[in-house]
Amino acid sequence: MMPIKTIRIVETDRDLLSRLKRYTGVKGFNVLCRWALCMSLADPNPTSVDPLGAMSNLEIDWDVFAGQHKEVYWAVVVQRVHEDGLPTDEVTLTREFYRHLHRGLGQLANLAQKPTIRHLLSRVA
């Protein structure tokens, strides 16, 4: 099963990304999104909240989002969905990817008002 080709971000999540970008100095939204995804996947609780709201103009190509490890990121999402007892069909995988990304962005934003890169990395690693 192929991963999402283009990641589309809702306005509220784009706002969080913009704030995180300013606070951390990380230049690419794709890096922050990868951190967010990993944070959420590391959380043992199931996801429950869909990202809602208007779509922003921010889109990230899967190859840019995942970089050289694109197969690994998708395999980890598939594994997590399987471990959560959900079907691994395309619709469920896509929904869970967006739920994890949304939850992870919230987790990153809640670490601190102005997190440092060292603090973020210590939480993600």
Domain that holds residue 79: 6-124
Residue 52 has pLDDT above 80, yes or no: yes
How many domains does the chain fold into? 1
Task: Identify whether 94 is part of a domain.
Answer: yes
Residue 1 lies in a domain: no
What pLDDT score was predicted for residue 95? 96
Element (H, E) at 21: helix 11-24
CATH number at residue 43: 1.10.1220.160
Is 66 in a helix, a strand, or coil? helix
pTM: 0.88
How far is residue 26's CA from residue 32's CA, in Å, rounded to a whole number?
7
Residues 32-55 have a mean pLDDT of: 94
E strand spans, the chain? 6-10, 55-61
Output the pLDDT for position 124.
Answer: 58
Residue 10 lies in a domain: yes
Query: Is 42 a domain residue?
Result: yes
pLDDT at 113 over 60: no
